[in-house]
Structure 1
Amino acid sequence: MYFCYADDSGADQGRTLTGLLVPEEGWNDLLHHWLEGRRKLEEEWGVPKNTELHANRLVKGRGRPCATPEQNKRFGRSARIAAHDLMIKQLTRCASLRVLTVVGRTTQVAEVYQSFVNHLEAWALGQDTRVMIMFDGLSGPPDTTALTPEDARASWEQAIRNAKPYRDAHRGLPLASRRVLEDPIMQDSKYSQFIQAADLVGYAAFHHLALRRPEIWPRIDPVGAMSKAYRRLADHWLPGHGTDGIVWAGNDTRTFRNTP
């Protein structure tokens, strides 16, 4: 069985969804390499191991992720890009890791998620395996201590309603043969190292795409270093699925020029 940690990226009229697939027997290995990277971030730049890594804020220089003002001052753009690249390199050390990105010309993440699930279902059938998906999102209010019972219940119900399109994508699969098991497990990225990892990879995949399909994202100024970071994962792209491990949802099957 594989665990899949997924997060979305994109802007304007194009949305992407990236999943990191790891077999159950490789889960410990992936976590070991990721936490080793977190230790290096703390030693090199002072980014604590429990600080959430969010690619958009990290690469664009937003926030103050380091432990001290002096460290934050030194943690400029080049250092932040190097930190992102370091964590991608750590992911490549896990031989069993696989990466899939699905992209759609839509503003609706749920539409891309449906295609994402369909591709995973077909892949898992061919591999004679099964998949459980952990997706970035709130499963409920993070803290109910300050809420009245009625407000807490309303927050939980809202979280359940927000997850409905993603549940429906799973429950629409044929029960007798389905390989994507259970409903999606919503995990807050703040508390999930692997959802953060999917965010870093997804952000890199989005910039890799935006460099080659500027007509979809005309207002985006793609970061070439992100494309380079994404290409580090070439040996881990899900084989037989799209170009550069990227699949187009729906009828848009046009590809983009590969970069050596």
Structure 2
Amino acid sequence: MTYIAYIDETGDTGNPQLRGASSCYALGCVIIDLDVWPSVFDSLVAFRRQVRTTFGIPLRAELKANYLIRDSGPLRGLGLAPSQRNYIYQTHMQLLSTLPAEAFAVVTDKAKTGWRGKSCFDGTWEMVLQRLERSCSKQGRTMLLAHDNGENDAVRALVRRARRYLTAGRMEGGGGIQFKADRILEDPVPRTSHHSYFIQLADLVAYAGWRSYQRPGAGVAAVVPQSMWSHIGSATKSEVNMWSLNGSVPGVVLRTR
């Protein structure tokens, strides 16, 4: 039995003190069982048809958090109010539990960790790979990875290294454990986000995960309030941080040190 995990990022890995840089870097992950992938895809297409009928958003339009927040990209000119864009975002989150799918996010606070650039990118991705490997091992499954096109070489190198060596902290006590992410099949597959509804969902998951940790300003909150993550409901992969002590919500792994 095999899963496919779709992964996308939000924010950047640069210095958070610089103008225009994000305070956090986050990855969102949407997991689909390959045995039901065709029916899940059909359900997602049917949902997007409803969005087109209700709001006039074309099926081929890319729906990502930034476009919904800023009323930009393919949404520009449609005259959608913040409340309508909030509804679109919220219904995407609620859809995850009916597809069916699972979702989680890893959020790195760049100021608290001191991570920048490669250390931030690698550390956040490694945490995602740890959670995926542990889940696959417990369930006796294998996994394929698909991610947004961009840092293809860096992601491929991380996955190849993870097959040989990964570490994770213990649930109790100090120290850590070492293992291999050898249930990940092949190299990760880069996908152009506007060609993949699943990558777009992962983007929305990533941003909602970030905002569950850091409260957005009033303008952003009109579309993506801090409570947006809760709408994922039963699709939340809560075991990824069920032993967390840093106050994160279920399904959102925080890197603060």
TM-score where L is the length of structure 1? 0.74
Q: Deviations over 1:139-186 (max 9, x none)?
A: xxxxxxxxxxxxxxxxxxxxxxx4222112211134586112222111
1:90 pairs with 2:98: no
Structure 1 residue 50, shift from structure 2 partner: 0.8
Rounded to whole Å, the distance in 1 between the matches of 2:146 and 2:105 is 15
| Deviation per residue, 1:70-94 (Å, 9 max, x gap) | xx13x12211111122222222212
Distance 1:59 1:110 in 2: 27
Q: What is the aligned partner in structure 1 of residue 221 from structure 2?
A: 223
Pairing 1:55–2:65 present: yes
Alignment equivalent of 1:117, drawn from 119, 129, 153 = 129
Tell me, yes or no, if structure 1 residue 245 matches structure 2 residue 224.
no
Hey, what does 1:104 align to over in structure 2?
A: 108
* Among 29, 41, 47, the residue aligned to 2:51: 41
Counterparts of 2:237 and 2:28, CA distance in 1: 11
Query: Distance between the aligned counterparts of 1:233 and 1:188, measured in 2?
Result: 24
Whole-angstrom distance in 1 between the partners of 2:40 and 2:225: 21
CA deviation after TM superposition for structure 1 residue 17, in Å = 0.6
Residue deviations 1:189-214, cap 9 Å, x none? 01111101111222222211212xx8
Task: Return the alpha-carbon distance in structure 2 between the equivalents of residues 64 and 102 of structure 1.
Answer: 28
Aligned counterpart, 2:4: 3
Q: Which residue is 1:76 aligned to? A: 81
Q: Distance in 1 between matches of 2:122 and 2:192?
A: 17
SS in 1 for 2:96: helix
Deviation at 1:62, TM superposition (A): 1.8
**Structure 1 spans left out of the alignment, 5+ residues:** 139-161, 253-260
Give the alignment of 1:143-222 within 5 angstroms. 162-174=151-163, 178-211=182-215
Deviation sequence 1:46-102 (CA, Å, 0-9, x none): 101111112111122223537xx5xx13x122111111222222222123x111211
Q: CA RMSD in A?
A: 2.4
Opposite residue 236 of structure 1, the aligned amino acid is A
List 4+ stretches of structure 1 deviating above 6 A.
none
Structure 2 unpaired stretches of 5+: 13-21, 111-115, 165-179, 242-248
The count of residues paired between Structure 1 and Structure 2 equals 216
Identical amino acids, percent of aligned pairs: 21
User: 8 Å contact 1:55–1:199 — kept in the other structure?
Assistant: yes
- Superposed displacement of residue 111, structure 1: 2.6
State the alpha-carbon separation in 2 of the partners of residues 191 and 44 from structure 1: 22
Partner of 1:30: 40
Secondary structure of 2:72 counterpart: coil
1:52 partner SS: coil
| Conservation of the 8 A alpha-carbon contact between 1:33 and 1:90 | no
TM-score normalised per structure 2 = 0.75
The structure whose residues are more often strand, as a share, is: 2
Residues 167 and 183 in structure 1, CA contact (< 8 A), matched pair in contact too:
yes
The residue type equivalent to 2:197 in the other structure is Q
